[in-house]
Structure 1
């Protein structure tokens, strides 16, 4: 595949929400190997602590990233900086700044949601730490704000998300139209009910896409997915069947 297919392995889903949801570093690494065998070279994961809660603290981030990197060397590893994990924007930026010294446990990229307070400070901390930025845009207001502000240094791509409840294709079209002036690569994805319709639309436009248990627990036919590798297998087939001939 010429375009990016990112596997989003766990997200913020609670422990037990799916039998195969990877939580520990070892589980994330096992899933990373399985999806890499299906052609994935980009990962997005949410490091957890010992009880399965999402964290931004350096030791837990470093452990998760280092264990996954050892299992799939050469694969891009991204993490979250979600404000729901640490609502204080100053403290959030401080935690992210601490990732600079993580060595083998330093992520390659991190996602920053444009609608969250303090997103610019988090982006600046990532850039100083030598970590690439993925800008999360989940509605038209965020897209307009990003275009007005301009992408911060170190931005690699925009993650355009079509949320549940939206009409997938019209909402995707609206986001893409607003983001076009940025001239940045766009990874288009949905969540739950919009995940597969948006992936199909991304395939037809030859855009980057993603899939995994963060975005959906179901296969395209609505039956429960076995695990992340199962979802990625369906995504690869979709991208090949709807993408360029």
Structure 2
């Protein structure tokens, strides 16, 4: 089975990207019914800004669990939300409702300490590799064999650059002997090229409005469910070709 994660919102400005706990929970349920195996999500405060605060993050986790009780939930820990690593760690340490997983971007200051604290409490780590430099750092870190999976996330919207970076990150991880599951995705203009390559290589993929808002034929996606359905179709066609 090819793993498919859905990233519901992130910093995307789009009317269909859910922000309130209720909307996030409803969207998670809809995408799981459409075929997603896990949910990645960002929480927002009352002003509509991304937050790592315990109250908002806990409300989002509870909302998803009520509607999707058996679905793994991944929360962001991105430094774009709290840049100071000490304050970020203290904020995460205040969480009372822990997710199943977090994304931990390997190029960020303080990510090892944050990951260690979460792992000690049973939270799995999705190691986010945004560049070949992140991959090189990761394969020498103490986390290298202890993460749940690796996320290959080339940042460029240019498909030529993103495909090059995805291939290089994949090669660095494999050359280090790390056989952790890999989940790949691009962003916007590079998205569909990156996930097609990932499927050809036998990896899992991530979709959702955090990453892309158009379907493979260039039409605007109405919501996360349409993106999951398109990804499922792509996975099915990849399996048939194999």
- 2:158 corresponds, among 158, 162, 165, to 165
1:72 to partner: Cα distance? 0.8
Aligned to 2:112: 120
Helix, strand or coil at the partner of 1:225:
coil
1:42 matched to 2:38? The reply is yes
Aligned to 2:123: 131
1:226 to partner: Cα distance? 0.3
Structure 2: distance between partners of 1:161 and 1:243: 23
1:229 to partner: Cα distance? 0.1
> What CA deviation, in whole Å up to 9, does each residue of 1:66-106 have, x standing for no partner?
0111011100000100111111101111222222xx2xx32
> What CA deviation, in whole Å up to 9, does each residue of 1:2-43 have, x standing for no partner?
121000000122xxx222110101111111111111121200
Structure 2: distance between partners of 1:152 and 1:36: 29
Structure 2: distance between partners of 1:174 and 1:149: 18
1:154 to partner: Cα distance? 4.5
Structure 2: distance between partners of 1:162 and 1:202: 12
Helix, strand or coil at the partner of 1:243:
helix
Change (3 A) 1:165 1:219: same
Structure 1: distance between partners of 2:196 and 2:77: 27
1:130 to partner: Cα distance? 1.8
- 2:193 corresponds, among 194, 197, 201, to 197
- 2:237 corresponds, among 212, 225, 241, to 241
- 1:143 corresponds, among 106, 116, 135, to 135
Stretches of structure 1 that go unaligned for 5 or more consecutive residues are: none
> What CA deviation, in whole Å up to 9, does each residue of 1:190-243 have, x standing for no partner?
111111111111111220101000001111111111000011100000011013
Contact 1:191-1:216 within 8 A present in 2 as well: yes
Deviation >4 Å, runs of 4+:
none
Structure 2: distance between partners of 1:70 and 1:129: 22
TM norm structure 1:
0.92
| RMSD over aligned Cα atoms | 1.4
Structure 1: distance between partners of 2:145 and 2:191: 29
Structure 2: distance between partners of 1:85 and 1:170: 28
Alignment of 1:56-75 (within 5 A): 56-75=52-71
